[in-house]
Chains A and B, each alone.
Chain A
Amino acid sequence: MSFHPLMVYDRDHFHRSERTRLDEGKAFTFTPERRAALDDLLTKYPPDQKRSAVLAALYLVQEQEGYLTANGMRHVAGILEMTPAEVEDVATYYVMFFRERVGKYVLQVCRTLSCALAGAERVTEALSEKLGIKVGETDPSGMFTLLEFECLGACDRAPIVMVNNEHWHERVRPQDAGRLVDDIRARGVAAFNGCHLKLEKS
């Protein structure tokens, strides 16, 4: 059965929505510092619009647990006066939230056109080969997760690898990608070349 006269639309080509079961995780309450940070954020929105802080709250859950757990989301729902389903609705939409355990370093390689023209596909291949994992997987040591991301908005410094939603490594050449992995193992976040200060004259 096809909705379009020319479209192959058999069992293998059928577009299915995916309903993922979220990991329950450990029992969850924010640490006092994170709870205070969230309460502070809530003052920036009208008192009847607590929901506006949901992305910020989910980042805090992710910071505490490493990924978003169902228990963490229920805790957020309680604080922001949302239903757990509403929180899950938001959490499953945005790509910067991880819904399963990830490695200590999540390598997010930009794959969109400008980075791809500058060799991003080769960078991903080199990282994949070096780590012995495919895109979307975590290596057995739990140190690295390899992901592809869509345009990160720094096409002049392509190809870009973002790490842990925060650190940037720019102008990565495929031949350097393996060395970057070794460098992260040795020096942690100090291995990333960042960006903004490179612009300055002095």
Chain B
Amino acid sequence: MMEPILTRYVREPNSYTLDFFLKHQGYDGLKKALGMAPNDVIEAVKASGLRGRGGAGFPTGLKWQFVLKDTPKPKYICCNADESEPGTFKDHLLMERNPHLLFEGCLIGCWAIGAKVAYIYIRGEFYHVQKIMEAELAKAYAQGYVGKNIMGSGFDCDIVIHRGAGAYEAGEETALIESLEGKRAQPRIKPPFPAVAGLYNAPTAVNNVETLCNLPAILTNGAAWFTSLGPEKNGGPKLFCVSGHVKKPGVFEATMKTTLRELIFDHAGGLRDGHKLKAVIPGGSSVPILLPEQLDIPASFDDVAKAGSMLGSAGIIVMDETTCMVWVARNLLHFYKHESCGKCTPCREGGDWLLKILTRLENGEGEMRDIDLLVSVGGNIAGKTLCAFGDAAATPALTTVKHFRAEFEAHVREGRCTLPADWRASKTPVGAH
């Protein structure tokens, strides 16, 4: 197992404080960056091959390079701290236990692209985390690590923590920008991309929390060190969130050489006693299911894609044999129906249709043709919306039918859920919020 980089001190008392951070190489990466030309920082990040940790895995250095240079407008870094993908809780840990690492990453990003403000858009539900961060940010301002003339370099940069108010869609980068501008969190038509016209119509880079937290170590230890930590094009430390039917759910830091099986059975302690693995969602609820025999692959962006799924936000949800897959699909479609922003018709209406069909099936009131109807409706959402939400919403229905069609058929034949579990509601599905 590798020595953790991002989460090394998270279990230490007071690891979130500025004093602790400064005693452990805190703000060293920023110091290094401020001694370099901004363009050289971008080149260093490009050389490291750092890929966005929010879900898409897009190279961060490239994203920064696209940010328009010759413009009279201000530029912005928006940190996407709206972590809402079901099964994902890594940014939560980083912000709670290591907020200065994120501030340092934000400042390095601002220096590289020429921004004077970084907005950290944190989901409203993380208010307990935000209060810790605000207290620490005030200390960083007072000691000259944020604000005017940072560490005597002449560089001025502010960090603002902006609280969301409960919207999964705000995690989509253009929807995040809309929300930050005081509107509904709905995605924009692209192009133009945020790098050209983002926040307040100015060039903007939107980066995930974990992505920004990787920057200090890249600058301190160098690009070669970073790439050496993982398979080709999947370098660096990575945080994996394992939840569901495992003994020790949690956030585990490892390289992307680690296999999914190791993450589930070694890091997370394997399944509950006496239970067998049934299915794994490897990258947050929006990605296709992997079966137990598909887990001996490195948990990297490219290897998981090759296996027919996505690493996404590395939210690994583990389900044992007591889990009804019709129920899983219904649970997730309830989420997607509720969270659809309503802008694109296929997603707004289709998500609702999928939920209704799945509820019917789960309650034993479905017909055989409903199963094909799921596939048909799902296929009419995926790829037909402005943002990736549509694909995400269709996936739970499509992937469960693909791998577990027999379970759907059994529900119809027997007129009831054929796999009720003692950890589920004893009555019919509970009401919607």
Q: A112 in the interface, Cβ–Cβ < 8 Å?
A: yes
Per the bound structure, the CA–CA distance linking A55 and B14 in Å amounts to: 31
Per the bound structure, the CA–CA distance linking A58 and B179 in Å amounts to: 13
Pick the contact of A153 from B123, B132, B373 — CB < 8 Å? Answer: B123
Binds A, one of B106-114, B188-196, B223-231, B328-336: B328-336
* B residues near A202, Cβ cutoff 8 Å: 13
Chain A, residues 170-198, CB within 8 Å of chain B (1/0): the string is: 00000000000000000000000011100
Q: B319 in the interface, Cβ–Cβ < 8 Å?
A: yes
Q: A52 in the interface, Cβ–Cβ < 8 Å?
A: yes
Q: B299 in the interface, Cβ–Cβ < 8 Å?
A: no
Per the bound structure, the CA–CA distance linking A12 and B356 in Å amounts to: 12
CB <8 Å contact, B424 and A96: no
Nearest A residue to B248 by beta-carbon distance?
A: A156
Q: B349 in the interface, Cβ–Cβ < 8 Å?
A: yes
Binds B, one of A19-27, A28-36, A159-167: A159-167
Q: A135 in the interface, Cβ–Cβ < 8 Å?
A: yes
Chain A, residues 99-112, CB within 8 Å of chain B (1/0): the string is: 00000000000011
Chain A, residues 143-154, CB within 8 Å of chain B (1/0): the string is: 000011111111
CB <8 Å contact, A156 and B433: no
Q: How far is the CB of B158 from chain A (nearest CB, A)?
A: 8
Chain B, residues 120-145, CB within 8 Å of chain A (1/0): the string is: 00011111110010000000000000
The residues in B between 281 and 319 inclusive whose CB is less than 8 angstroms from any CB of A are 281, 285, 315, 317, 319
Question: Can you list 23 A-B contacts (CB < 8 A)?
Answer: A4-B377, A6-B373, A13-B356, A15-B349, A56-B163, A59-B163, A89-B184, A95-B165, A95-B167, A113-B281, A119-B423, A122-B424, A136-B431, A150-B86, A153-B83, A153-B88, A166-B127, A196-B16, A196-B96, A196-B129, A199-B10, A200-B13, A201-B13
13 more A-B residue pairs beyond the given contacts A7-B353, A150-B338, with a C-beta to C-beta distance below 8 A: A44-B160, A56-B162, A95-B167, A116-B331, A134-B431, A153-B126, A156-B242, A165-B125, A166-B127, A167-B128, A195-B96, A196-B97, A200-B12
